[in-house]
């Protein structure tokens, strides 16, 4: 059996810090801190069937397209609270499960939604992010029940 090397542990700690910075920047709407974590050529996939409830299933290329997507989401929803429930790291990849309390800006409807993210890192930058949102929990917030 092979153990975790000091280099592996150091990389893991670095990714934990980067994910925490990403989450904090998102929660406080610090666009520059958020943008700084992405590679210029980042790819983001919003997973799920476009016919379902989440209004932004798509693939975005480049950090400015990713930022534009998050701006669209923020136009529709206020993030009342967000908490990382689980973070798993293997090499340069991280899987994160979050619980997000959302308020629909148009209707005022609110609720809690779980969001899963898979992140790939190169150095200190995110090069790929995949996101899957619990559409069944999002339905009442959107008024689609």
Predicted TM-score of the model (pTM): 0.87
**Does the pLDDT value for residue 50 go beyond 80?**
no
- Tell me, rounded to whole angstroms, the distance of Cα 126 from its chain centroid: 11
Q: Rounded to whole angstroms, what are the CA distances from 90 to 30, 87, 109, 117?
A: 27, 10, 37, 14
* Residue 16 clears pLDDT 90, i.e. is over it: yes
Q: Are 88 and 77 in contact (CB under 8 A)?
A: no
Question: How far apart, in whole angstroms, are the C-alpha atoms of residue 114 and residue 11?
Answer: 27
Residue 65 corresponds to which tokens in the numbers above?
A: 């397209």
pLDDT at 54 over 60: no
The mean predicted confidence, pLDDT, of the chain is: 89
Per the CB < 8 A criterion, the answer to whether 42 and 119 are in contact is no
The CATH number of domain 6-142, selected from 2.40.110.10, 3.30.499.10, 3.10.450.50, 3.40.50.10440: 3.10.450.50
């Amino acid at each position: 059996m092979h153990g975790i090397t000091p280099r592996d542990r150091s990389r893991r700690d670095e990714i934990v810090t980067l994910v925490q910075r990403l989450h904090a920047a998102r929660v406080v709407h610090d666009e520059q801190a958020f943008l700084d974590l992405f590679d210029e050529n980042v790819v983001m996939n919003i997973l799920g069937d476009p016919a379902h409830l989440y209004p932004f299933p798509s693939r975005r290329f480049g950090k400015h397209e990713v930022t534009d997507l998050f701006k669209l989401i923020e136009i529709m929803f206020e993030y009342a609270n967000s908490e990382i429930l689980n973070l798993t790291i293997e090499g340069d990849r991280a899987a994160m499960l979050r619980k997000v309390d959302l308020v629909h800006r148009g209707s005022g409807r609110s609720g809690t939604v779980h969001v899963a993210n898979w992140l790939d890192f190169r150095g200190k930058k995110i090069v790929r992010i995949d996101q899957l949102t619990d559409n069944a929990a999002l339905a009442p917030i959107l008024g689609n029940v």
